[in-house]
A = this chain, B = another copy of it.
Amino acid sequence: MSTEAPAAGGPKTNRVGLTVADYRGGPSTLCKGCGHDVITNTIISAFFEMGVEPHRVAKLSGIGCSSKTPAYFLNRAWGFNAVHGRMPSVATGAMLANRQLVAIGVSGDGDTASIGIGQFVHLLRRNVPLLYIVENNGVYGLTKGQFSATADEGSRLKNGTLNDLPAIDLCTMAIELGCGFVARSFSADRKQLLEILKAALAYQGTAMIDVLSPCVTFNNHEGSTKSYDWGRDHEGPIHELGFVPAWTTPPVEFKDGEAVEVPMPEGGSIFIQRVEQGRHDPRDKAAALRLLQEHYQSADSFLTGIFYLDPASQSFVDRLELTDDPLCGLGAGELRPSREALEAIVESLR
């Protein structure tokens, strides 16, 4: 639906003439079956289907198994594996330097909710243009499975250790902080995740997607609330979605009057096709918060979908009124005030 007709015989190409292979990265060094690898593959599909030119992409991350994944997709894009928990600031700086970049940040639940919660909060306040994915497994995978701040109260590690602290719900927090694109998904639900990712790529501010992404090595056992089984048993999509980019036409099934169309400011529309738990229009903030408050951490529901979408939010580069030309490209001619300007400054100091 979102790609051009395949060239006769050759591999399918997208609207910028690239094949899926052009969006791949290096081989993953994660554990076999790790949820993060599924997300990696879905990211590849999303960028391919959206026809984003890889050289325009900046891939940013912190530290953790999740944060390694930018090396596993979009080899032709620039990557920055920064320090633990502080990717948001690096992403902010990069987007200020070059507003034409398409930035994707990949983080873990430890990287975001434990060490990184401060930068996460302020990233959301600023609404930096960034697709921000939390690969949420409730533990620190890379340091061998300690609880993170999204681990649910009452859940247990393999060795029996109990988590007695309440989990941080990143989606609620994001909505409260003014984030205009807040979604949750599950790495075992590739179909939904793909649509959300494509929609997020059409968004102009911070798009935060919290993805349950099981750690098969340290947190996939019984007693875990971040395992594949738990996720499959509890997932409740709040709606079924399809993203239709600007350059394609919605398929017929979206036009039957049942689907809600949410147009995106930079083109394309999200169609909310089928509604399970009551019709949730993501533009309704209060309803989104209510949904989350009622269902988060309740033993029998793990809601997924786009909770909140504010198509009109103003991004940080717009708030700063930056010129359209990327700052990184400006030379002395554009940046250095004239000799007269310096003389005037000097004169004012005499």
Q: Does residue A20 face the partner (Cβ distance < 8 Å to B)? A: no
Question: Given that A117-B117, A173-B173 are contacting pairs, would A149 and B122 also be in contact in the complex, using a CB cutoff of 8 Å?
Answer: yes
Bound: A263/B314 CA distance, A: 46
Contacts of A178 in B (CB 8 A): 166
Contacts of A165 in B (CB 8 A): 125-126, 319
Q: Which of A115, A117, A126, A172 has the most CB of B within 10 A?
A: A117
Is there an interface contact between A172 and B166, defined as CB atoms closer than 8 Å? no
Q: Does residue A258 face the partner (Cβ distance < 8 Å to B)? A: no
A113 nearest CB neighbor, chain B only: B121
Closest-CB distance, A206 to chain B (whole angstroms): 12
| Chain A stretch 110-136: residues in CB contact (< 8 A) with chain B | 114-119, 121-122, 125-126
Q: Does residue A291 face the partner (Cβ distance < 8 Å to B)? A: no
Q: Does residue A168 face the partner (Cβ distance < 8 Å to B)? A: yes
Closest-CB distance, A298 to chain B (whole angstroms): 13
Contacts of A172 in B (CB 8 A): 176
Q: Does residue A29 face the partner (Cβ distance < 8 Å to B)? A: no
Is there an interface contact between B164 and A319, defined as CB atoms closer than 8 Å? yes
Q: Does residue A94 face the partner (Cβ distance < 8 Å to B)? A: no
Q: Does residue A289 face the partner (Cβ distance < 8 Å to B)? A: yes
A85 nearest CB neighbor, chain B only: B118
Closest-CB distance, A319 to chain B (whole angstroms): 5
The number of chain A residues touching the other chain, given as a range, is 20 to 34
Interface on chain A toward B: helix, strand, loop, or mixed SS? helix
Question: Given that A172-B176, A173-B173 are contacting pairs, would A166 and B125 also be in contact in the complex, using a CB cutoff of 8 Å?
Answer: yes
Q: Which of A115, A125, A149 has the most CB of B within 10 A?
A: A125
| Chain A stretch 121-180: residues in CB contact (< 8 A) with chain B | 121-122, 125-126, 149, 164-166, 168-169, 172-173, 176-178
Is there an interface contact between A121 and B168, defined as CB atoms closer than 8 Å? yes
Q: Does residue A1 face the partner (Cβ distance < 8 Å to B)? A: no
Is there an interface contact between B173 and A168, defined as CB atoms closer than 8 Å? no
Closest-CB distance, A348 to chain B (whole angstroms): 18
Bound: A244/B319 CA distance, A: 49
Q: Does residue A293 face the partner (Cβ distance < 8 Å to B)? A: yes
Contacts of A125 in B (CB 8 A): 149, 165-166, 168
Selected A-B contacts with CB under 8 Å, 26 pairs? A114-B122, A115-B118, A116-B118, A117-B117, A117-B118, A117-B122, A118-B118, A118-B119, A118-B121, A121-B168, A122-B149, A125-B149, A125-B165, A125-B166, A125-B168, A126-B165, A165-B319, A166-B177, A166-B178, A168-B177, A172-B176, A173-B173, A176-B176, A286-B293, A289-B289, A289-B293
A-B pairs, top 6 by smallest CB distance, nearest first, are A118-B118, A166-B178, A164-B319, A117-B118, A117-B121, A125-B165
Chain A residues at the B interface, C-beta cutoff of 8 Å: 114-119, 121-122, 125-126, 149, 164-166, 168-169, 172-173, 176-178, 286, 289, 293, 314, 319
